[in-house]
Amino acid sequence: MNDTTWKQTIYEPYLETWKIIKLIQYADQTPEQEEQWNRYIREIDRLNKMYPDNPFAQNLIRLLLDAGDSIAKMNNEVSA
């Protein structure tokens, strides 16, 4: 894979994923939590539309969905 392909196929979707996951850092600890989760899902949908034929991006989307559950549980434990 050359540098350009690597950047487009791996690096850019990875950076987008990191931005999306940061959206729920404090979810379930704030009054705005429902909107945070809605935005999180919208951004996952956007990522899916940006990279529909990219298997690496699809793996990242699955990661985001699983990570969301884990982060929510961890945030609930912190706020309990």
In-domain check, residue 11? no
In-domain check, residue 69? yes
In-domain check, residue 53? yes
Distance in angstroms (rounded) separating the CA atoms of residues 62 and 65: 5
Q: Can you give the residue range of the structural domain that contains 47?
A: 39-73
- Three-state SS annotation for 21-46: HHCCCCCCCCCCHHHHHHHHHHHHHH
pLDDT for position 72: 84
Say yes or no to pLDDT of 52 above 70: yes
Is pLDDT larger for residue 25 or for residue 44? 44
pLDDT for position 26: 80
In-domain check, residue 55? yes
In-domain check, residue 64? yes
In-domain check, residue 7? no
Report the domain count for the chain: 1
Is pLDDT larger for residue 47 or for residue 36? 47
pLDDT for position 79: 66
Say yes or no to pLDDT of 25 above 80: yes
